[in-house]
Structures are given as structure tokens and as C-alpha cells.
Amino acid sequence: METTRRQDAPIAADPAVTTPAASTSQQRPPSERDFSRSSRLPGFYELPRSERLRSVQAFSGLNEAALASLGNLGTLNGELLEVFIENGLGSFSLPLGVATNFYINGRDVLVPMAVEETSVLAAASHGAKLARAGGGFTAVSTEPVMTGQIQLLLQDASVDFDAILKAHKERLINYANRGQDRLVARGGGACDLDWRYVPEIGSLVLHLYVNTCDAMGANIVNTMCERVSTLMPELLPVAIGLRILTNLNDRRLTDVTCFVPASALDTREFDGKEVVERIVMAYQFAAHDVYRATTNNKGIMNGIDPVLIATGNDWRAVEAGAHAYACRSGRYMPLAVWEATPSGDLVGRLAVPMAVGVVGGVTQLHPAAQAAMSLLGSPDARALAGIVASVGLAQNLSALRALASEGIQRGHMSLHKSNLDLLNRQGAART
């Protein structure tokens, strides 16, 4: 089997690991005119969707049933598909459900989650039930301040850029806000600017801080960065480099805590206080071992990503920010901290960058995302961030509780069994 061969082979000997130069020198791609074999499809994006599907079929030989699966629009329609992506064929369905038991900032919430992993919703609901016994989750989010980067390639390192930038700081911030009247009227807009010199790349890197209110804000920030950069050559001897937001938005943080009374963790096999100790030990394992920390944080993202997907948010942005934030001390650490109180109960805390929006883009256009937002009570961006982070903490609690007591597989496999049964039945039907 391919998988076994790959796992056994040393990495350097893996034929799949080739340098770009090696791979380009091997074979020429099929000619553009060989339409059925070439992935070079000029004008593909302009074709009606039905013709795109037919070209894909001509390329791949997919049967009609497979083509219908690719072309199924689900809750979307053709117009939305064209608005969301280029080269669209259809929409990909993920299971969507609600996590129960969440009590966040004094409010009961049913949390929509879109995810394919069997045990995730059950685990989130269980973690929420444990936290609920101690009063639920308390979530606090900072102002929604995103950070944009402007890279300036300094052509004369002797220039006193500090003095010049300080003198023009207010002007630059005001210039960033031009054309953003509605955002500024809502209390948002560019609010701060700082910079640092990175000698290794001869670059002065400006950070423009922007309160994006209820938007995730990537477009606002990128537009402002490009705008501000146009003023730079008249102030400093620089060439313009990149202008783009950072996903390490460490001024847009959400902090969520929960308290779990030891009695809520009693099981047939273990006393609750013992479970607390074991959960704390499991956290410490992650705090001292990057391999464990990675899996621990994957478990947290098991809770975070599905809520982001269900609400039409950019889960890749939050993923990138979360993992970079987990490294902020120079060592990759677990995102949530678990401690025992003097009375032997458990407290947990998760702090994570959370760039989520409730206006603009997919959130407002996708029918299922809109319904998910309504189900959540139409929170603003900061409240949504608190909900998302609470699910991350609940997920971590549930995973650590299971790992530190009976093990993860008992619950996981009982849920996974129906999945396997279906696979087996389908396999039997095919043979």
C-alpha cells in the first residue's frame, strides 16, 4: 500500500518530496489543446456553471452521480456561488448541529457547529455541562483592533525615521481614515501607529492599528495600509514593500474563564478531586511538551473552527493567529491554562486572538450562516468572539477530562461506530 511505503521510507528518500526544480524538469504538461487532459482551462471561470461541470467531467471521466454531488448547491444558489468564489461548481456539505448546555456571560446559548468529526459536538456539550455546574463561561473581548503591516525598504539607514514618523503619526492615522466615514462614525477606524526596524531585511515595518467594529476587517485594514503607504516616499527614503494585515492580531483578544466544581467531575471510577489533579497534570504535560501541546491545541480548534464555519467566518485566519499566539513566549504552549483552586476545584482560562466579524461578506450572505447568527441571538463581533472561545475552552476541558480519566477512545469509538458501520455496509455493497 502507498501509505505504508511512505511511512516506512526516510523523508529524504520519499519520491513525493522533490524540489521545484526537479519536478519541473521531469515531464511537460499536456498541451492546452488537449482539452480533456489538461488542467489549463482558459476562460473556465467565465463559463456557465453547467459547462464548467461538463469540462470537469471531460477531464476526469466522473460519472453523472459524482458530477451531481459536485454540482449540488445545498443552501446556496448559483448567484451566491458566483459571488463567493471563482470557478465554482457547487457547494460542499458539512454536518451542522448545535452544541448544548452553554451558559456564557449569564446567557443560555445554543451553539451552531459545522464539522465532520464525530465526537466534537458531544464533547463540546459535555464540557459546557461541566462548566455550567460552576456558573458557565465568562468571556471578555478587547476592542476589535486589527493590525496592518506596511513594509518599507529603507534606502538610507542613517535617516532619523523615529523623529520623522513621530512628527507625522497623527497625519498618517488621519489619512488612513479618509473615506472611512461610516466606520469612524461607529467609533472605529485607524487609532494608532507604531514601527520597528528589522535590520536583517533592511525594512522599517509599520503597524497600523484599526478598530474594525463588527467587521473581521481584513479588507478595511488592507485598504488603509495601501493608502498610507502612498505617503511614505515623500517622508522617508524608502521603497514600498508589502501592505497587508497580520493574522497575529494580538490587540484583538478574547479571554474566557470557567470554574468547574470537583463534584461535577466525579465518575464511577474516579473521585472528582482526583480528576481535577489529573486534568491539571494533563495541562502541564502540554505546557512542557510541544508534541502534546500541538494535539491539545488541535482539540481547542476542534471547538473554535466549527463555530467559525457555521457563522461564515474566516477560520484559517483564526487558526493562524491562534497558533502564532501559542508561540508568543518563544515556545509553543497550550492555549488554555488549567489550575486547581485551594479547595480542589478546577479553573480554566483560554486567551486567544479572535478576529471574527458579523457584518460583510459570507456572514451576511450565506443563508445558513445568517440562520446560525440568528440562532445565536445576533451577537456583535465581540460577543461572538466570546462564544467561539467558550466552545474552544469547553472542548479542551472535555478532551482533558476524558484523557485524564477513562481515556478518549471509549466515548470516541462508541460515537464513531455508526460511522464505521456505514462504511462497512457500503464496502459490502460494493463487493
Q: What are the residues binding ligand MEV (CB under 6 A)? A: 117, 295-296, 298-299, 302, 399, 403, 408
Q: Output the smallest distance, CB 336 to ligand MEV, in A.
A: 10
Query: In b/e form, how buried is each residue of 127-138, taking b as 16+ CB within 10 angstroms?
Result: bbbbbbbbebbb
C-alpha count within 13 angstroms, C-beta hemisphere, residue 157: 8
Contact 108, 135 (CB under 8 A): no
> With contact defined as beta carbons under 8 Å apart, do 280 and 346 qualify?
yes
Compute and round to an integer the Cα radius of gyration of the chain.
25
Query: Which is nearer to ligand MEV, 236 or 350 (by Cβ)?
Result: 350
Identify the sign of the CA torsion 129, 131, 132, 138.
negative
Cβ of residue 260: shortest distance to ligand MEV, in angstroms? 16
Using the minimum distance from each CB to ligand MEV, give the nearer residue, 76 or 403: 403
Nearest approach in angstroms of CB 117 to ligand MEV is 6
Closest-CA residue to 218 (of 137, 317, 139, 306): 317
397 in Cβ contact with 127 (< 8 Å): yes
In the complex with ligand MEV, the residue whose CB is nearer, 146 or 403, is 403
Catalytic residue among 298, 319, 380, 406: 298
Q: Is 14 among the catalytic positions?
A: no
Q: How far is CA 133 from the centre of its chain?
A: 29
Q: Which is nearer to ligand MEV, 118 or 254 (CB)?
A: 118
3-state secondary structure of 161: helix
CB of 313 to ligand MEV, least distance (A): 20
* Nearby residues of 354 by Cβ (< 8 Å), 6 or more positions away: 141, 252, 253, 254, 318, 321, 385, 388, 389
Pairing of strands 203-211, 145-154: antiparallel
Q: How far is the CB of 402 from ligand MEV (least distance, A)?
A: 7
Q: Which is nearer to ligand MEV, 130 or 373 (CB)?
A: 130
Rounded to the nearest 10 degrees, the angle between the axes of helix 120-132 and helix 290-310 is 100
Q: How far is the CB of 249 from ligand MEV (least distance, A)?
A: 25
Catalytic residue among 168, 273, 412, 416: 412
Q: What b/e sequence results for 264-299 when a residue is b if at least 16 CB atoms lie within 10 Å of its CB, and e otherwise?
A: bbeeeebebbbbbbbbbebbebbbeeeebbeebbeb
166 classed as catalytic: no
Would strands 189-198 and 203-211 be described as parallel, antiparallel, or unpaired?
Answer: antiparallel
DSSP string for residues in 266-324: --SSS-HHHHHHHHHHHHHHHHH-HHHHHHHHHHHHHHHHHHHHHTT--HHHHHHHHHH
Structure-block grid coordinates of residue 216: 473581521
Which C-beta is closer to ligand MEV: that of 299 or that of 353? Answer: 299
Would you call 298 a catalytic residue per the annotation? Answer: yes
| Min dist. Cβ of residue 325 to ligand MEV (A) | 18
- And the C-alpha cell for 289? 511538551
Q: Which is nearer to ligand MEV, 142 or 294 (CB)?
A: 294
Cα 430 to chain centroid, rounded: 37
Q: Which of 214, 305, 314, 345 is catalytic?
A: 314
Residue nearest to ligand MEV (CB): 299
Q: Pick between residue 355 and residue 403 the one whose CB is nearest to ligand MEV.
A: 403
Closest distance to ligand MEV from the beta carbon of 355 (Å) = 23
**Can 117 be counted among the known catalytic residues?**
yes
Known catalytic residues?
Answer: 117, 298, 314, 412
